[in-house]
């Protein structure tokens, strides 16, 4: 079985290549190998490779910048999945499209289920919702949240840098979600691909947190591992105290019961996965 994996220099793309199941061969694609804004190039590579599966974690993820780069965000996040779906309809392969908690507005008080109404509040969220639509009914769509991995560009590594540089940090405490380790997400993506049942699924680590809670945990776990000499003062602030161009959902916890029932497993708590990621980070030097 052959799979194309996009975004192989990103956190999820790397994790996918590191966890390829037995019996699969992968063609990894970075932005030099495939321009996701070029629908014709997408069609050509699918026609040439004839993959059984396309795993598409690649995305325009600069949430705030997307507010002023709407066309580019839409091309990568919405038009590219549609182009993959169209090409795969000819060749017979299946698309696994990675999406986001940002398709929801954050007004729910309980975990969002796959079939809940979407109401994105940002250009980024709207582009990803359009990507879900473009992927179509034959795709496996997996929404996730707050992704991080060792060596990647993410909240965990940003916090580690700032904690080494500053005596005091202010972190938003009124946005609630679930951190997600990219390795666990990759395993779920492969698992759902092998099950092969199209539809919308959710993946996140167990437990919930605010960004403030997450930052405090990062500091404590990093100090325990010797990645930090001291823990700076971490202050909780409101979203209104840290204005950004893009509006973010205040509550974006995803209900993962369908995914876990489909795969017959249980999610690992985010703090346990954070510890594992920081151990990997330490090993990277």
**Beta carbons of 134 and 71 less than 8 angstroms apart:** no
Catalytic residue among 124, 148, 201, 212: 124
State how far the alpha carbon of 243 is from the alpha carbons of 64, 98, 110, 145, 226, in Å: 11, 27, 25, 20, 33
- What spatial distance separates the first Cα and last Cα of the chain, rounded to whole Å? 36
- How many angstroms separate the CA atoms of 124 and 73, rounded? 7
Q: Is 124 a catalytic residue?
A: yes
Measured distance CA(6)–CA(55) in Å, rounded = 6
| CA neighbor of 143 nearest in space, from 272, 254, 236, 245 | 254
Exposed, middle or buried by CB within 10 Å (0-12, 13-18, 19+), for 101? buried
Compute how many other C-beta atoms are within 10 angstroms of the C-beta atom of residue 25: 10
- Residues annotated as catalytic are 124
């Amino acid at each position: 079985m052959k799979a194309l994996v996009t975004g192989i220099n990103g956190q999820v793309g790397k994790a996918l290549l590191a966890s390829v199941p037995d019996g699969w061969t992968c063609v990894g694609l970075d932005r030099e190998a495939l321009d996701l804004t070029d629908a014709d190039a997408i069609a050509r590579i699918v026609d040439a490779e004839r993959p059984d599966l396309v795993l598409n974690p690649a995305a325009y993820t600069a949430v705030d910048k997307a507010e002023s780069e709407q066309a580019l965000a839409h091309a990568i996040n919405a038009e590219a999945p549609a182009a993959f779906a169209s090409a795969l309809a000819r060749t017979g392969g299946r698309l696994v499209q990675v999406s986001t908690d940002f398709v929801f507005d954050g007004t729910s008080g309980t975990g969002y289920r796959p079939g809940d109404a979407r109401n994105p509040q940002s250009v980024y969220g709207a582009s990803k919702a359009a990507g879900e639509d473009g992927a179509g009914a034959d795709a496996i769509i997996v929404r996730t949240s707050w992704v991080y991995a060792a060596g990647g560009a993410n909240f965990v590594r940003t916090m580690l840098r700032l904690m080494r540089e500053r005596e005091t940090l202010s972190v938003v405490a009124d946005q609630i979600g679930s951190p997600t380790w990219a390795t666990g997400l990759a395993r779920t993506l492969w698992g759902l691909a092998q099950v092969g049942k199209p539809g919308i699924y959710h993946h996140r680590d167990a437990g919930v947190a605010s960004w403030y809670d997450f930052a405090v945990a990062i500091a404590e776990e990093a100090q325990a591992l010797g990645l930090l000499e001291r823990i700076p003062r971490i202050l909780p602030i409101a979203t209104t105290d840290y204005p950004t161009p893009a509006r973010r959902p205040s509550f974006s916890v995803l209900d993962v019961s369908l995914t876990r029932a489909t795969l017959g497993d249980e999610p690992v708590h985010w703090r346990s996965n954070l510890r594992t990621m920081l151990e990997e980070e330490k090993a990277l030097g």
